[in-house]
């Protein structure tokens, strides 16, 4: 079970990193997928820097946690993604539910659950998944 969870957490990290790399190399395309539109060169720079930096940081942290079996790294990535979910909930309450609010939130919640489950599997007693 631990190997499966580490593989899923690693895939989640790679996916998040890929979104960040998309923002670095194609900020307009990635921005449109995230419902963001750059305003001038400053907007392009912000998409490249902030979205890339954020997503690459979270993705690499999750990937590191999965590869090196470091639960604290997995919890760090999960905690940051959970804050995104809090922001989505606040936006839904304040602004209303948008076209992809629920599906985006569910995707983020799924990744948070995978990262936490992976962390838990690292601390399970040996043979606990054979019961």
pLDDT per position as a tens digit, 30-39: 988 888 888 9
**Residue 65 domain boundaries:** 2-130
pLDDT computed for residue 130 by the predictor: 46
pLDDT tens sequence across 47-106: 999 999 999 999 999 999 999 999 999 999 999 999 999 999 999 999 998 777 788 889
**Range 111-128 average pLDDT:** 86
DSSP string, 4-50: HHHHHHHHHHHHHHHHHHHHHH-HHHHHHHTT----HHHHHHHIIII
Q: Judge whether residue 20 has pLDDT over 80.
A: yes
Q: How many domains does the chain have?
A: 1
Kindly indicate the confidence band of residue 126, based on its pLDDT and cuts at 50, 70 and 90.
low
> What predicted TM-score, i.e. pTM, was given to this entire model?
0.87
**Range 14-43 average pLDDT:** 92
> Tokens at residue 109, please?
């919640």
Q: Judge whether residue 127 has pLDDT over 70.
A: no
DSSP string, 42-85: HHHHHIIIIIHHHHHHHHHHHHHHHHHT-HHHHHHHHHHHHHHH
pLDDT computed for residue 128 by the predictor: 54
């Amino acid at each position: 079970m631990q190997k499966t969870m580490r593989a899923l957490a690693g895939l989640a990290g790679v996916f998040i990193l890929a979104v960040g790399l998309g923002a670095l190399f194609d900020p307009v395309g990635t921005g449109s997928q995230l419902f963001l539109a750059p305003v001038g060169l400053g907007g392009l720079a912000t998409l490249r820097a902030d979205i890339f930096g954020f997503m690459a940081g979270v993705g690499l942290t999750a990937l590191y946690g999965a590869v090196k079996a470091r639960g604290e790294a997995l919890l760090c990535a999960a905690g940051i993604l959970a804050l995104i979910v809090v922001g989505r909930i606040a936006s839904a309450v304040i602004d209303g539910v948008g076209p992809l609010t629920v599906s985006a939130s569910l995707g983020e919640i799924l990744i948070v659950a995978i990262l936490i489950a992976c962390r838990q599997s690292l601390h399970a007693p040996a043979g606990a998944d054979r019961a």
